[in-house]
Each structure stands twice: as structure tokens, then as C-alpha cells.
Structure 1
Amino acid sequence: MMNGTHAILYSTDAEADRAFLRDVLGLPNVDAGGGWLIFQLPPAELGVHPTEGASTTELYLMCDDLDATLAGLAAKGVRPVGERVEARWGVRAYVALPSGARLGLYEARHPVARDL
């Protein structure tokens, strides 16, 4: 039986991105050896959306109030990347990691499965 989710972020500057996740987002972590940090993520859920393009995957950290989360991150010098996208099912935005990779943030406006 599955007991969790392990997501991987491939980074061109893994050390800086790890520091961002640890110091800016405050994610708890363990050192798996040699500074290789493994971060605890909030409870997870998985949605499967139809697409007319190529199949892909995306990662979003969920928050209860996206605007408050973005304001808190802005106070730490973190700026959104691109436009805030509003839809009937929720609102999402991206922030830049030090490597330049985008990390998605998502406020759901639908029933969520993460607390089941």
C-alpha cells in the first residue's frame, strides 16, 4: 500500500533552492547525507486533468489564502513569476526559486482530499 508521495525538483542550483525551501519557506527537513536535504511537505492530493496537449505533471504547494501567502513571501523578497490565474476551481501563482525554476502555489476553491 502507498504511504506517501516523494516529489523531486530537478535544479540547476540545488544548494540555493534547498536553502530557499529551508530558510524562506521554512519547510522541515532531514539531511539524507552530505547536505542532501529531504523536505517534509504538507499533506498531498493528486488531481488528474484532461489535456489536448502532451501529458505532463506539475507541483503546487497548497495554501488557504494565496494573496496572504504571496504578501508574506514578498516581505521576504520573493516575487511572483507571471500572472496570478483565477478559475472557478481555484487560484494559482508561481514564485521563482534561486535557480530560476518556478514553484507553483495554489488556493483550492473545491473540496480537497488532503485531509482524508
Structure 2
Amino acid sequence: MAEQTITERIGSADQVLGVSRREIMEQMIDFYKLGDGDGMRQMFEAYKNWEVRYRDGKRTIDETIELAKDNFDCVARVADGYIDSGDTTVGMVRAVQLPKSTSGPISEFYRKTIDYQPFDPNRN
């Protein structure tokens, strides 16, 4: 039996996602390098659907979808730092310290693919 893709694993996940942020980050980098917008979109849709399916009831569906977009954007920004430095920790620090509107090639590709612009309270 063939190994499931990251997207398939997300799509078939129960309450525990079972896919690490690092695996998602690496897949995002691969999709970017291949120019595979469809793959990126499908992986995000699987994740978004998982978030909606297992939401805690404290958020509306729309809020949950925004959370999914923000979560994936954060992973994409970590990927930007990772491809610049080769260090996941550096990527995480950059994602936390820089404004959300800051982008590199992975986050730009992700945002363009799903037509997303993160809210940045520091932007005029």
C-alpha cells in the first residue's frame, strides 16, 4: 500500500491532526519549488476542513476558517525563514518577531494561492 500524502493524512485525520508543522512546512516548500498551487490549495483545504470538523464550538465557522488561514500563514512564514537560514528555529523566531504582513517566497505563494492577506494591526 502506498504511503499517504500529507494532504491525504490531514484529510483523514481524526481529532488529532497526526501531521507535524514541520511536515506541513516541508510540503509547502516542495509545492513552492514545483509551482504547484493546486497542491498547496488542496493541502490548505484539507486542513481548513479538519479545523471546521473538529472546532471546539467557541468559534463560529468563519472564525475557524480565519484561524486555519492564520495557522497556515504562520507555517509559511516559518518556511520563509527556514529556506533563508536552513534553521527551523530561526524561521520560528522570524515568524513571531516580524509583522504578519512580512512575507517571503513561501508565504507569498501560499497567500496568492488561497487569495489571503493576513490582518496586521500595525498596517495603516
Q: Same fold judged by TM-score > 0.5?
A: no
Choose between structure 1 and 2: higher helix proportion.
2
Max Rg structure? 1
TM-score (normalizing by structure 2): 0.23
TM-score (normalizing by structure 1): 0.24
